[in-house]
Amino acid sequence: MIDGLSHRDFQRRARLALRRMTPLQRDVFLALQDEHLGYPALAHQHHVTEAEVRAAFAAALLVFTDEYDRPPSWWRRVLQS
């Protein structure tokens, strides 16, 4: 799929990343992916400022990319061999 990851591995990493996000980060990340809401609408919906929504989205992207870039655990590498 992406950079040699299978679809299954990508989905597993995405689930792990979503679990590592705070509830606000997760809600903002998913809302911006699925819905066509902007930062002002999300800020109003979550009763926070627009800057907090932007910060939550940036933090969510960092969590997602950190999980994506993480090497597989040693036991997964052994099983894949």
Per-residue pLDDT of 45-72, as tens digits, reads 999 999 999 999 999 999 999 988 777 6
What is d(CA 24, CA 3) in angstroms, rounded to the nearest whole number? 29
Q: Is residue 4 part of a domain?
A: no
Domain total in the chain: 1
pTM for the structure as a whole: 0.79
Q: Is residue 14 part of a domain?
A: no
65: closest CA among 20, 6, 35, 27? 20
Task: Please tell me the predicted confidence (pLDDT) of residue 33.
Answer: 86
State which residues form the domain around 28.
Answer: 23-76
What is d(CA 76, CA 13) in angstroms, rounded to the nearest whole number? 13
Q: Is residue 46 part of a domain?
A: yes
Other C-beta atoms closer than 10 Å to the C-beta of 58 total 11
Q: Is residue 35 part of a domain?
A: yes
Q: Is residue 51 part of a domain?
A: yes
Q: Is residue 50 part of a domain?
A: yes
- Each residue's pLDDT tens digit, 1-17: 556 778 888 899 999 99
Structure tokens, 5:
């990851």
Task: Please tell me the predicted confidence (pLDDT) of residue 6.
Answer: 84
67: closest CA among 31, 16, 7, 11? 16
